[in-house]
Amino acid sequence: MPVRIHHVGVAVTNLDESILLYRSAFGAELVHRATNEKEGLEAAFLRMGDGEVELMTPLREDSPVGKFMAKRGPGFHHVAYGVSDIESALAEARAAGLELIDNEPRVGMHGARIAFLHPKSVGGVLTELVEI
Ligand code: CO
């Protein structure tokens, strides 16, 4: 099902500082930055070679990322696998017995269709499928 690692999501305290750090330390290139008021987060996507890192910071303490940060602090948040057909990837995940957070694909912050799988059925790692 997964064709490749698409991006890694990292929760950060200060988005501007983290973007500067990733640019200077790794030569990462900022490709997209957006705010999602509904989910209560601001995210920046930086290209690193043929993959990306998604830096994300909460807008509110009671948002999903805000709660994550309060509980676990900044750091690794999720991995995203790129798939060519998200409908069939979700069907395969469901058939394999994985617990889905999103039963249907939805549009993610960078415009692609995404769906999350529950960490407890994927080795404790919040896992995102992204259609590429
Ligand atoms: Co992501």
At 84, the pLDDT band (50, 70, 90 cuts) reads very high
- The pLDDT tens digits of the residues spanning 54-64 come to 999 999 999 99
At 117, the pLDDT band (50, 70, 90 cuts) reads very high
Percent of the chain with pLDDT over 70: 98
Expressed in angstroms and rounded, the spacing between residue 64 Cα and the centre of ligand 1 is 13
Instruction: Give the model's pLDDT for residue 109.
Output: 85
Instruction: Give the model's pLDDT for residue 111.
Output: 87
> What gap in Å lies between CA 128 and CA 8, rounded to an integer?
9
Expressed in angstroms and rounded, the spacing between residue 40 Cα and the centre of ligand 1 is 14
Expressed in angstroms and rounded, the spacing between residue 95 Cα and the centre of ligand 1 is 23
Expressed in angstroms and rounded, the spacing between residue 10 Cα and the centre of ligand 1 is 9
CA distances 101 to 93, 94, 104, 105, 118, Å, are: 11, 11, 9, 10, 6
Expressed in angstroms and rounded, the spacing between residue 7 Cα and the centre of ligand 1 is 7
User: In the chain, what are the domain boundaries?
Assistant: 4-131
- The pLDDT tens digits of the residues spanning 62-78 come to 999 999 999 999 999 99
Of 109 and 74, the one with more pLDDT: 74
User: What is the CATH T-level fold of the domain 4-131, as seen in this structure?
Assistant: 2,3-Dihydroxybiphenyl 1,2-Dioxygenase; domain 1 (3.10.180)
Expressed in angstroms and rounded, the spacing between residue 32 Cα and the centre of ligand 1 is 12
> What gap in Å lies between CA 55 and CA 77, rounded to an integer?
9
Expressed in angstroms and rounded, the spacing between residue 109 Cα and the centre of ligand 1 is 8
> What gap in Å lies between CA 55 and CA 76, rounded to an integer?
10
- The pLDDT tens digits of the residues spanning 1-48 come to 667 999 999 999 999 999 999 999 999 999 999 999 999 999 999 999
Expressed in angstroms and rounded, the spacing between residue 58 Cα and the centre of ligand 1 is 14
